[in-house]
Amino acid sequence: MSYEQPQQPPQPQQPRPHSAEFFNETRDYWWNADFLRLMAERLEFAKVSRVLDVGCGVGHWTFALAGVLPQTARLTGVDREDEWVSKAAQRMKDAGLGDRCEFVRGDAMSLAFADASFDLVTCQTVLIHLKDPKGAIREMMRVARPGGLVLTVEPCNMASMGVFSSVSDSLPTEVVAANLRFQLMLQRGKRALGLGFNSLGDLVPGMMAELGLRDIRAYMSDRATPMYPPYDKPHQRAEARQWKDWHAREHWVWDRATTLQYFLAGGGDEREFEVLWEQAGRLMAAEIAAIEAGTFHCGNPHITYLVAGRNA
């Protein structure tokens, strides 16, 4: 006699580490090396010997900075995810920079470092995920030495949502307006839930001023990753792979469940959500189809601020 094995109840999915959807190869193309060298000159990186990268993720920003800092500078990265700490350390080791860098687990809101420990304290796309970004800047100021530099890299993703492609340029006005309204409600819903604001870059200079940083400077990244046929540049191939992967998984900025949560928190209702969700999916499908047909093009900028201020 044989017996069927009892079915096991479905196991809940383990939550992925923060920003797992975005720590991919497209992030390798965020910066022009000559632009970073210009920033290093303007912000006097030559005087920097100790650096802290807050919310370092897998080390993209740490790696970019290492190329424009003095060879003697030591870089420390801190992140709340053990997986990212490990991968960041491996990235720097593979790049031959392991002897200059260390990575530790920690919290941006309570950094485990003494006051005035670093010449430069920085973060990239971290404040947009925090309920209290001003508190995080205050903590960054605490561990920066007197006269030390606090440098943040944060986007205005709402502005990026208003960029036209060869597909969206021909959409009716009301469809474009509905897409923008959808994105704004999602961003405001995310903020209402205490999960951060994806267009925070616009507000960072004012926050720094309120906290007492001086010599505040704001710059814009000069990097765009334009898409145009035959899509044979490394950044173009990476973008196309990411879009196709997201579309296959019904991931338009966020997955469906997360998007609905944000939309409801932003003041929307489920009936309207269904309409806007389907519309967003159709737009992504149309753009992917245009890529495959060789007709898609877009300037594809990344609206990103670099904001720096010095401790008094």
- What is this structure's pTM? 0.91
Q: Are residues 271 and 162 in the same domain?
A: yes
Residue 10, pLDDT score: 36
Model pLDDT for residues 205-254, shown as the tens digit of each residue: 999 999 999 999 999 999 999 999 999 999 999 999 999 999 999 998 89
Q: Are residues 169 and 312 in the same domain?
A: no
Contacts of 277 (CB under 8 A, 6+ apart): 252, 256, 259, 260
Q: Where are the beta strands (DSSP E) in the chain?
A: 50-54, 74-79, 101-105, 118-124, 144-155, 214-220, 251-252, 254-255, 304-310
Q: Are residues 134 and 272 in the same domain?
A: no
Surface-to-core class of residue 297, CB atoms within 10 Å of its CB (0-12 exposed, 13-18 middle, 19+ buried)? middle
Model pLDDT for residues 156-188, shown as the tens digit of each residue: 999 999 999 999 999 999 999 999 999 999 999
Q: What is the span of the domain harbouring residue 142?
A: 19-156+199-223+301-312
Query: Structurally, how many domains does the chain consist of?
Result: 2
Residue 2 has pLDDT above 70, yes or no: no
The gap from C-alpha 46 to its chain's centroid, in whole angstroms, comes to: 27
3-state secondary structure of 57: coil
Token pair 């409801």: residue: 264
Is residue 167 situated within a structural domain? yes
In this prediction, what percent of the chain has a pLDDT beyond 90?
Answer: 89
Which helix (H) or strand (E) segment is 103 a member of? strand 101-105
Q: Are residues 143 and 274 in the same domain?
A: no
- How do strand 118-124 and strand 50-54 relate by DSSP bridges? parallel
Amino acid at the residue 112: A
Beta bridge partners of 306: 153, 219
Q: How many helices (H) and strands (E) does the chain have?
A: 10, 9
Tell me what the mean pLDDT of segment 254-269 comes to. 96
Is residue 73 situated within a structural domain? yes
Tokens at 295, concatenated: 């007709």
Residue 138 has pLDDT above 70, yes or no: yes
Residue 208, pLDDT score: 98
The edge-to-edge listing of strands for the beta sheet with 118-124 is: 101-105, 74-79, 50-54, 118-124, 144-155, 304-310, 214-220
Is residue 3 situated within a structural domain? no
3-state secondary structure of 200: helix
Residue 60 has pLDDT above 70, yes or no: yes
Q: Are residues 50 and 94 in the same domain?
A: yes
Q: Are residues 42 and 162 in the same domain?
A: no
Residue 15, pLDDT score: 60
Is residue 75 situated within a structural domain? yes
Q: Are residues 63 and 43 in the same domain?
A: yes
Q: Are residues 144 and 166 in the same domain?
A: no
Residue 102 has pLDDT above 50, yes or no: yes
Is residue 14 situated within a structural domain? no
Is residue 266 situated within a structural domain? yes
Q: How confident is the model at residue 49 (pLDDT cuts 50, 70, 90)?
A: very high
Q: Are residues 109 and 139 in the same domain?
A: yes
CATH code, domain with 307:
3.40.50.150
Which helix (H) or strand (E) segment is 179 a member of? helix 173-192
Is residue 5 situated within a structural domain? no
Burial of 178-191, coded b for 16+ CB within 10 Å and e otherwise, reads bbeebbebbbbbbb
Beta bridge partners of 307: 152, 218
Q: Are residues 25 and 151 in the same domain?
A: yes
Within 10 angstroms of residue 117's Cβ, the number of other Cβ atoms is 16
Q: Are residues 68 and 42 in the same domain?
A: yes
Tell me what the mean pLDDT of segment 119-142 comes to. 98
Residue 24, pLDDT score: 79
Nearest to 34 by CA among 59, 68, 60, 62: 68
Is residue 55 situated within a structural domain? yes
Q: Are residues 146 and 35 in the same domain?
A: yes
